[in-house]
Amino acid sequence: MTVGIVLVSHSAKLAEGLAELAAQMAPDVRIVPAGGLPDGGGIGTDYDEVVAATQRADSGDGVVLLYDLGSAQMTAELAVESLADPSAAVVVDAPLVEGAVAAAVAAQGGANAKAVGEAAASAGVAPDLAAAEPSAAGEEGVVEKEFTLTNDVGLHARPAAVVVRSLAEFEAEVSIRLGEQEADAHSVLALMSLGARQGDRIVVRARGLQAAEAVAKVAELVESNFGE
């Protein structure tokens, strides 16, 4: 089971499209759109639809609700309050698109509801792209390797999500460097912000008990074109 996600929007098309996008990065997560008024009634949010969506999204590990505009927040909060167990769901203040992506990847990685909500909320902060520092030769506990991206679109959304999900199982701090910029390999948004494209050479750097295994996993992903 994983934490479920509900996308509350004034637009049915927006909610449905975003749910489709997020599902590409988190195939095992229940991501349920709740947008628009009933029966194609246009722009707005519907309390009953949000309640039903929250119930459908709940597989037993909790539900995180994201929303687009102010009244959608009110509808989401009222829906949660009406649940038999309101503590099973939480409404998170986060940018809808970026938050949905971050929450979906976190849920796919097995994070609990609190961590999924925090991942969504943190998506509102600009990704930390640090200036890459030269590696100290033979630095203890550090594994570093360079790769060339051969997949068609580089580290776009889905490959970035694949990297983040795959590294969640390893006890290691991992970063990916492109040129003079370095990003946390545990953040989809940070990896996407690198703008790494086909043919670019990236450097993967890991530190920790499973640093070598983490780098080997990235090597496997690159060689398989991230499953594309």
Choosing from 10, 30, 165, 217, which is the catalytic residue? 10
Q: Which residue has the tokens 């060339």?
A: 148
Cα separation, 61 vs 112, in Å, equals: 7
Listing from the earlier edge strand, what are the strands of the sheet with 63-67?
31-35, 4-9, 63-67, 89-91
Q: Give the residue among 97, 98, 92 at the shortest CA–CA distance from 118.
A: 92
Paired sense of beta strands 89-91 and 63-67, if any = parallel
Paired sense of beta strands 173-178 and 142-148, if any = unpaired
Q: Which residues 6+ apart lie within 8 Å of 227 measured at CB?
A: 162, 221
Cα separation, 34 vs 58, in Å, equals: 14
186 belongs to the catalytic site: no
In this structure, which amino acid lies at residue 188? V
Catalytically active residues, by annotation? 10
